[in-house]
Amino acid sequence: MLKNDNGRPIWLAGILLISLTAGITPPAESEVPDGIVKIRVKSGRPLAAAADEIQSRIGIVVNYEDPPYTHESDLREMIIPTSGAKVMVPAGGTLELKYVLPLKATRAREMTPLLGSLLDAYAASHQPGGFRVEQAGEMFHIIPTEVKNKEGILVPVTPILDTPIDLPEIERSGAEILVAITERVSAETGQVVMVGLAPINLFMRHRVRIGGTGVAARECLVQLLEALDAPVSWRLFYDPGLGFYVLNIVTVSPRTAGVTTKD
């Protein structure tokens, strides 16, 4: 079993949460008539589902981070089919967007307004939380800005990946660095953050040297992903029932136009 520098297992952390979240991001439905893409998703995390579809369609990395959902109006009960267990998950809803498929030469500069339109559509649907878009090179982040607290009051959110961490700049495997980042965030905030699913072979075969003192966790993740030889993005999901985050890494596999259903 793969272990980190402290001898603890790396890939066990997110198994439970992944079983809870895997069933609440159903495929996005999309059509591409004459270069105009129409997306429709119904999900507990419609922004994450739409980001999956957009990055697959355009081939540019779009990362996503949950806010900490705590208010009952932002949640719903779900039954895990395999066990019958009842868990609380984000309420989510339906999200629709229509946009012109960017040309390859201009896709990077067109992503910010495209994702801005996505966030506008999300806000207009009155679904939980508020978000903003940030660009880091040719990578984009969907970052939470506000969410209802337990009293139902909309309050600003300090994104957990804004947390400054000290990450020793030594050569390690990508998998070890991924775990080190989540462990440092947990230590700095007191909020549990764990690694969930990731393409383990990709992260194991890369040995890289990244880090620094007082560097935002998000920037450390950007450095790590940029050091890989295949495009991947992260999905940071918050489990409202258990009260912790799981960091999933997904591959970005561009596809061609046509009527499609995302796996």
Q: Could you tell me if residue 3 is inside a domain?
A: no
Which domain range does residue 171 map to? 15-250
What mean pLDDT value characterizes the chain?
85
The confidence score (pLDDT) of residue 29 equals 52
Q: Could you tell me if residue 10 is inside a domain?
A: no
The confidence score (pLDDT) of residue 15 equals 41
Mark the ranges of the chain whose per-residue pLDDT is less than 70.
1-34, 104-105, 254-263
Q: Could you tell me if residue 211 is inside a domain?
A: yes
The confidence score (pLDDT) of residue 105 equals 59
Q: Could you tell me if residue 8 is inside a domain?
A: no
CB proximity list for 216: less than 8 A, separation 6 or greater: 161, 162, 163, 164, 165
Q: How many domains does the chain have?
A: 1
Helix (H, G, I), strand (E, B) or coil at 138: coil
Q: Could you tell me if residue 75 is inside a domain?
A: yes
- Quote the pTM value: 0.85
Q: Could you tell me if residue 6 is inside a domain?
A: no
The confidence score (pLDDT) of residue 9 equals 40
Q: Residue by residue, what is the 3-state secondary structure of 63-90?
A: EEECCCCCCHHHEEEEECCCCCCEEEEE
The confidence score (pLDDT) of residue 192 equals 96
Q: How far is CA 10 from CA 18, 40, 213, 255, in A?
A: 15, 35, 23, 31
CB proximity list for 104: less than 8 A, separation 6 or greater: none
The confidence score (pLDDT) of residue 207 equals 95
Helix (H, G, I), strand (E, B) or coil at 205: coil
Q: Could you tell me if residue 139 is inside a domain?
A: yes
Q: Could you tell me if residue 2 is inside a domain?
A: no
The confidence score (pLDDT) of residue 82 equals 85
